[in-house]
């Protein structure tokens, strides 16, 4: 096995693309976290030639809000326009980088009938994620801690992603009746083989070692060394990505995925998750489980039977479409899908999933439809359609900012 500093060819591939314990979905939040001081949800540190954006809702695992997305857009625009700023750093406060978007806020807004506020939430955050993916200056994300859902969306499309021994990555949206969004259909579809389908459908967690091996991260180091790398970044006077990369490389660690990593099962993942339908994927896993009595197959099957059946089919199609789309195309499509998910025209699974896993926490969601076999093609097709002929799509400044493929 080769060293995984560069995630073999995958890291270069993603880089050229520019790319519920912790099933807090996009994220679960304590109620008191909804009233954070808006002025302090994103802090700024100024260095010699860089600026650092600090996601600062530690009690809510730095879950993203509409206000945070708007502030980040404003900050990044001013930093891109400032010739004295060479690059941008993003990190989180506390034990998380970012656990995703504030789904409890969405849950309450939906139940109050405030769909326009929900639309603004998605459009604001997705627009910022596109800004990160097309950032005019090098972008360094320090993923020290929980990095899920929208947290991945504001970091993985950027230039550099530093994982540590404390990093926990997941896209657990199927467990709350949603779909892997925030650009997930773009970056997951570029992972080795059919690892993206596995991660999207199961919501299983990856650690920092898995992230570097798969190409989700570009660098890995022990969290105890982060102060050294932040000090180094603070001294750099450059806007050259190669200079920044050389500085990061001084602290990089050559690591391998541990024995339990799904990366060691990539051939089995490809064998099972390469099938065209969810039903065929489940059949393949059941056949392998019966033939080998493999505990991994059994646990994977168990997870697939816990999540929303509709979300499984929607997620699989989304990853497959994302493999042939640019980042902006994925975000525009995911915006449509997210609106379908929150308006209950197809199903109430999103609100039911959030209720069961992060609000009432009975962990007994009543999915509708209740089984994969009862999810029709028409339901999946509608999930990918506009809400109505008058509903505008997400508008992104693709004429001003290059759309990466």
**pLDDT tens digits, one per residue of 396-405:** 988 777 755 4
Cα Rg, the chain, nearest whole Å = 20
H helices of 323-386, where? 327-343, 349-354, 377-383
- Provide CB contacts within 8 A for 231, sequence distance 6+: none
E strand or H helix that includes residue 230:
helix 226-235
- Provide CB contacts within 8 A for 254, sequence distance 6+: 3, 4, 5
User: What is the pTM assigned to this prediction?
Assistant: 0.89
**pLDDT tens digits, one per residue of 80-99:** 999 999 999 999 999 999 99
Distance, in Å, from the CA atom of 91 to the CA atom of 140, rounded to the nearest integer, reads 9
pLDDT of residue 388: 85
Q: Average pLDDT of 218-241?
A: 95
Residue 16 binned pLDDT confidence (cut-offs 50, 70, 90):
very low
Is 401 strand, coil or helix?
coil
Among residues 119, 159, 165, the alpha carbon closest in space to that of 139 is found at 159
**pLDDT tens digits, one per residue of 276-302:** 999 999 999 999 999 999 999 999 999
Domains along the sequence of the chain with CATH: 38-384 (3.90.226.10)
Does the structure show a pLDDT above 70 at 392? yes
**By the 8 A CB rule, do 207 and 263 touch?**
no
**By the 8 A CB rule, do 151 and 100 touch?**
yes
Catalytic positions are 101, 150, 173, 181
Neighbours of 254 (CB within 10 A): 9
State the residue for tokens 């798969």: 214
Distance, in Å, from the CA atom of 152 to the CA atom of 330, rounded to the nearest integer, reads 15
């Amino acid at each position: 096995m080769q060293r995984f500093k560069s995630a073999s060819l995958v890291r270069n591939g993603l880089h050229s693309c520019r790319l519920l314990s912790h099933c807090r979905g996009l994220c679960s939040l304590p109620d008191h976290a909804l009233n954070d001081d808006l002025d302090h949800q994103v802090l700024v540190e100024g260095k010699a030639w860089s600026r650092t954006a600090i996601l600062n809702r530690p009690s809510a695992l730095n879950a993203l809000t509409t206000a945070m997305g708007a502030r980040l857009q404003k900050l990044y625009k001013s930093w891109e326009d400032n010739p004295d700023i060479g690059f941008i750093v993003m990190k989180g406060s506390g034990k998380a980088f970012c656990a995703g978007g504030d789904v409890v806020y969405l849950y309450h807004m939906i139940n109050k009938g405030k769909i326009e506020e929900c639309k603004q939430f998605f459009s604001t955050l997705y627009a910022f994620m596109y800004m990160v993916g097309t950032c005019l200056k090098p972008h360094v994300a320090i993923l020290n801690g929980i990095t899920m859902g929208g947290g991945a969306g504001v970091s993985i499309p950027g230039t550099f992603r530093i994982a540590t021994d404390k990093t926990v990555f997941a896209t657990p949206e199927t467990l709350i009746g949603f779909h892997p969004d925030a650009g997930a259909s773009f970056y997951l579809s570029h992972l080795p083989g059919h690892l993206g389908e596995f991660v999207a459908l199961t919501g299983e967690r990856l650690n920092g070692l898995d992230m570097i091996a798969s190409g989700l991260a570009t660098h890995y180091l022990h969290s105890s060394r982060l102060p050294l790398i932040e000090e180094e970044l603070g001294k750099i006077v450059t806007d050259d990505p190669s200079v920044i990369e050389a500085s990061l490389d001084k602290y990089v660690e050559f690591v391998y995925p541990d024995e339990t990593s799904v990366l060691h099962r990539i051939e089995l993942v490809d064998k099972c998750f390469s099938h065209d339908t969810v039903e065929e994927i489940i059949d393949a896993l059941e056949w392998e489980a019966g033939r080998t009595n493999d505990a991994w197959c059994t646990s994977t099957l168990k997870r697939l039977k816990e999540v929303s059946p509709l979300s499984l089919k929607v997620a699989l199609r989304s990853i497959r479409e994302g493999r042939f789309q640019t980042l902006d195309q994925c975000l525009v499509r995911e915006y449509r899908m997210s609106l379908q998910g929150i308006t209950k025209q197809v199903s109430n699974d999103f609100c039911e999933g959030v209720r069961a896993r992060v609000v009432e926490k009975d962990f007994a969601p009543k999915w509708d439809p209740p089984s994969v076999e009862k999810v029709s093609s028409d339901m999946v097709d509608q999930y990918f359609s506009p809400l109505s002929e008058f509903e505008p799509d997400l508008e992104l400044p693709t004429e001003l900012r290059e759309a990466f493929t």
